[in-house]
Each structure stands twice: as C-alpha cells, then as structure tokens.
Chain A
Amino acid sequence: MKKIIALTIIGCCMLLRVVAQGDLLDEINKEDSAKPQRNFTTATFKATRIINMQSVELTGAGNLQFMITHHFGLLWNKDAGAQNLVQMFGLNAGIAKTYLALDYSFNRWFNVGLAAAGTSNFEGWMRFKLLRQQTGTYNIPVTVDWISTANVNSSKTATLVGEPVWNRYSFMHQLLIARKFSDKFSPVHAYIGAQ
C-alpha cells in the first residue's frame, strides 16, 4: 500500500516535470502576451480619400502628399443621347475639374492640407485623429477623425461680384467614424455640417 502511494507521488512528480517543461513556443507566446499590448488597427483605408470624400487615414508623420484628382462630367447626360458613348461616359465631356492637393502630417494625429479645387476655388483643411481603433490595454472599436475645411471662391461670377467678401467663403466640418471589420470591409460614417 505504502509502495503504491510512494509510486503515485513519484509518478505525479514526473508528470509535473513534464508539464513544467512544456513547449517553449507556448511559453514564449504566454510571455509575449503578458506584455502591455496596444494593437493598433492599421490601413483602415488604403488612401486618404474615398472617391471625393475624405477617409480616416492620414499621410504618415512627416510625409507630404501631392494628389491630383479629376472630377469628370456626367456618366450619362440624357440630352446628349448617343453622344454619351463618344464622350466615354463623361470622360471627354469637356467639363473635367482638376483638384490639386498637398497634404502634410506633422504627426500621427494632426494633418493640414491645401488644395486648388478647380473653377477658381481654393481650400484648406485641418484634420485631427481623435481616436484610433485598437485592442489590448485599451479597447477602442472605431477610428474617429475630425476634419474642418474652409473653401474660398475667387471667381468673378455675377452672383458674387459686389457681395461682401465673406460670402465667398464656405466651411465644412466633418466627424468621421470608421471601423475596420476585416481586411476587405471598412465602413465609414460621416456627420457633415456645412455653411
């Protein structure tokens, strides 16, 4: 009986030893996940713009981005009929606007931009990254950006001539909330206020 108990204890000890040895990879995974973690979600969008709207991405800190965007004519002008085909669905409609933009990020959360917005319009913006989607120490499910844009219309159109100068300005404030669900799906919700 005593022998059995003794053997059981020895057996337990050996078992313990085996358990204690374990796999080194498990041990290192455990050690690594014990570190304070801040897993930031990266590349919610691949660019700073989604078609002609802002995305929640900023250029990298210290990076200057020059971007050329074209706004073409109507995909289908109902008065033009078959002419739409030769105009290649608005591409050659003769009313393309060219938007030239420069934007620069001072750091991870502050970005400024200047743009020639076409037809004598110029604009500038400031963008703040308020929240970054992340897991770990802090669990934040969304990325939130605040963007304020000021636009000035410098054209000599009849409606503006003689008007007070402040009527040439327009302002837009946007609060963008985005979440990267997977590497193929990131929706963004925008609250836009303009005047």
Chain B
Amino acid sequence: MKKLLIFATGLLLMAISFQVQGQTYKTRDGYVYFNPNKDQDHKDYAAATKEGTGVLRVETAEVAFLVQMKTFHFNNALLEEHFNENYLHSDKYPNATYKGKLIGFTKDMLTKDGVYNLTSEGQVTMHGVTKDFKSPVKLTVSGKTATFECEFKIKAEDYKIDIPGIVKPKLADFTPLKANIKFQLN
C-alpha cells in the first residue's frame, strides 16, 4: 500500500514537473522579408521566405526562430544563386537562428485579444557568426492566432558577409528586415 502511495506521489510529481514545463507553441511558416536596396522603392534585390520555423515557450517567455537560407527566394534566379553560393555560403551555414526572451510578455496576453508592444533580446546566429540582438516586437492576439511582428536592421559586415565593391554602392549599409511569425493557439 505504502509502495503504491510512493508510486502515486511519484507520478503526481512527474505530472507537476511536466506542467511546469508548460505550453509550447510551434509554427512552420514564419515569414521573413528583406530589401537590401539603398533606395527602398527599388525591390530588385529583395527576397522573402515563408518557411521559417518558430518555437514559443509560454511559461518562460522564450522564443526561437530558424530559417533555412535556401528558402529565401529572389525575383532573379542568378541573384539567388549568388546569395547562396557567394554571400551566405548556404551549403556550409544552412540556417540562420534566433534564440531569445520576450521581455514584457505574460501568458495572459494570449488569452485576451489585443496589441501588445514587447521587446525581444537574444542572439542571432548567421553565416557562422553569433551576435547579440535586441528589437521591439509587436504581438497581436486575435482569437486563436498570435502574430509576432518585428522590424529590424542588420549590417552585413557584422556577420562577415563580404559584398563586392561593385555591388556595395547600390546597397544600404544596414539591411532592413521584416519578420512575421504567426502561432496557432489551442
């Protein structure tokens, strides 16, 4: 009887520990867009992906995001080849990742419709270089979807991405990026 009790307590504790682990949401269709043109009205070098993977841990307000470099598609096939072969070396560094915390996030936000302004802080790894990252994030909760939107800028040099001198004058020093990551809540 006592053994059974211990066993039951054990199970209960296990259950509790899994409870603490908490809710994790995942998405496989995160959207990222960037336009490195100096003149933002020109979109000839712009590229986008709709295949980013995201994980959100509600309890700890941790987020992670992963994009395969080869899922970025350009209008021009040759640009896409150069992006993968000569700039980002996608065979050697296939993914860009972000891991960080959502500052100001509470799990109650997911249960109430609204727009919340948060900050995310963490590390971005791309092209084999890891850099600290901090940016404002807009969270929109509407029914069963939570959308994280983030606009930020990165500098190619920071990630050891060499841009030939002939292309450089056409590109902005800081590349603006837009990310839109939607989680289905349940």
Contacts and interface: CB of A to CB of B under 8 A. Distances in A.
Interface of A: 2, 5-6, 9-10, 12-14, 16-17, 20-21, 24-25, 27-29, 31-32, 35, 39-40, 42-43, 46, 59-61, 63, 183
Interface in B13-53: 13-14, 16-18, 20-21, 24, 26, 28, 51, 53
B55 A27 contact: yes
Given A20-B18, A60-B76, A60-B77, A183 B13 contact: no
A2 B53 contact: no
Those 3 A-B pairs whose CB atoms lie nearest each other, nearest first: A60-B77, A9-B10, A17-B17
Interface of A is mostly: helix
A13 B17 contact: yes
Given A43-B81, A43-B85, A10 B65 contact: no
A24 to B, nearest CB: 4
A183 B93 CA distance: 13
B14 A16 contact: yes
A9 B64 contact: no
A32 B6 CA distance: 39
B10 A13 contact: yes
A31 B55 contact: yes
Given A32-B53, A35-B28, A24 B78 contact: no
Interface residues of B, number: 37
Question: Of B20, B53, B70, which is in contact with the most chain A CB atoms at under 10 Å from its CB?
Answer: B53
B65 to A, nearest CB: 7
Nearest to A37: B68
B84 A43 contact: yes
Contacts of B80: 60
A183 B17 CA distance: 48
A28 B55 contact: yes
B62 interface: yes
B99 A24 contact: yes
B55 A24 contact: yes
Interface in B64-122: 64-66, 68, 70, 76-78, 80-81, 84-85, 91, 95, 97, 99
B155 to A, nearest CB: 23
B66 A29 contact: yes
A59 B77 contact: yes
B97 A25 contact: yes
Contacts of B81: 42-43, 60
B17 A42 contact: no
